[in-house]
Amino acid sequence: EVQLLESGGDLVQPGGSLRLSCVASGFTFSSYVLNWVRQAPGMGLEWVSIISGNGDTTYYADSVKGRFTISRDNSKNTLYLQMNSLRADDTAVYYCATKRVGTNPFDYWGQGTLVTVSS
C-alpha cells in the first residue's frame, strides 16, 4: 500500500523558514517524480514544485521561485521542501503527491501538513 506522510508544518512568523518532509512507503521511491501541492484555507489546489526521480531536475511555481527549494533523499524515501522568506499568503496545507514518469497525473497524495505564517 502506498503511503505518504508529511510533517514539519508549524506556525512561523513572516520572513521565517520551515522545512517540510514527506516520508514514503509502498512503492519504488526513486522511480517516481514527486510534487508539492498546497491549498490555502477554503481555497483550491495550487501546484508548488516538482522533482525528478534522481533529483536532478526541479521546477517551481512562480509564486515560490527563489524562496522554496525541493529536494529528495532516495536512501531515506523522503521528499523535502525548504521554505524561506515565508509570507502570509504561503499559509496553506501542503501535500506531497506522486507522479509516474512521463505524461501522467498525480497518483497518490499524502494527508498534508499545515503551515501558518502569521505574527
Partner 1 sequence: EIVMTQSPATLSVSPGERATLSCRASQSVGSNLAWYQQKPGQAPRLLIYGASTRATGVPARFSGSGSGTEFTLTISSLQSEDFAVYYCQQYNNWPPLTFGGGTKVEIK
Helix (H, G, I), strand (E, B) or coil at 17: coil
Strand blocks (E) in the chain: 3-7, 11-12, 18-25, 32-39, 45-51, 58-60, 68-73, 78-83, 92-100, 106-109, 113-117
In angstroms, the CA 22 to CA 81 distance is 9
Task: Tell which one of 45, 55, 84, 116 touches partner 1 (CB under 8 A).
Answer: 45
Residue (13 or 102) nearer to partner 1, CB:
102
**Which string of x and - marks every residue 60-99 that binds partner 1 (by CB under 8 A)?**
xxx--------------------------------x---x
Binding segment toward partner 1, per CB under 8 A, in 8-16, 21-29, 43-51, 79-87: 43-51
Residue 27 binding partner 1, by CB under 8 A = no
